[in-house]
Amino acid sequence: MPLETAAEPNFGNMMHNVSKRMDQLQKGFFSFCPNETWTPSVNLYENERSYILCIDLAGVDKDKIDLIVSDNQLRLRGKRPAPLPPRQAGRKSPPSRLRVHLMEIDHGTFCRVVELPQDVNHDKVHASYQSGMLWIELPKK
C-alpha cells in the first residue's frame, strides 16, 4: 500500500526534527551513527555484578537486530518498518491509499553505539527481547 504525505505548512515539523537531532548529539557517553535514520533510546543500569542496558526497539523483529560487542563498544543495528494501521475487521481488501497527517514514530534503519567500561566481561554478554525492549546484561570482570 503506497503512503502519501499530507501537505503541511512550510517548516511545520522543523523544530521537532531539530530538537530530536540535538538530543541525539547530546547523548554523551552513548553515540549514534549519523548515516542511519534513527537512534533508539537507551537506559543504562549498574549493580555490583553487571551493567544492564535497556534499548527501546518497539516494532522491531528480534531476528532483525544485529548486536556486536568488540573493542569496548556495543554496536546495535537493525531496521524498523513504518507502522501501518491493522486491517479492519470485515474489510476484504486494504484501502488503496493511506494519507499520513503526522508521523513521529521513528522507522527505517537504526544504529546505536555504546562505549563500554573497561571492566566488562565480553565473553559473557547476555541479551533478551521482551515487549519491544532489548535487555543486555554485561557482566563485570
Cα–Cα distance, 14 to 10 (Å, whole number): 9
DSSP state of 38: B
pLDDT of residue 129: 96
pLDDT of residue 35: 60
- Domains, the chain: 30-82+105-141 (2.60.40.790)
CB 106 within 8 A of CB 131: no
Pairing mode of beta strands 73-80, 66-70: antiparallel
C-alpha 79: how far from its chain's center? 8
pLDDT of residue 15: 56
pLDDT of residue 28: 45
CB 73 within 8 A of CB 125: no
pLDDT of residue 9: 53
Cα–Cα distance, 77 to 106 (Å, whole number): 14
What are 35's three cell numbers? 548515516
Alpha helices (runs of H) in the chain, residue ranges in sequence order: 14-25
pLDDT of residue 29: 44
pLDDT of residue 100: 84
Cα–Cα distance, 85 to 37 (Å, whole number): 22
pLDDT of residue 87: 72
Q: Specify the pTM.
A: 0.72
pLDDT of residue 120: 93
Per-residue pLDDT for the chain (141 aa), expressed as one digit of tens each? 555 555 555 555 555 556 666 655 554 444 546 566 788 999 999 999 999 999 999 999 999 999 999 888 999 999 999 888 877 666 777 667 888 888 889 899 999 999 998 999 989 999 999 999 999 999 999
CB atoms closer than 10 angstroms to residue 109: 13
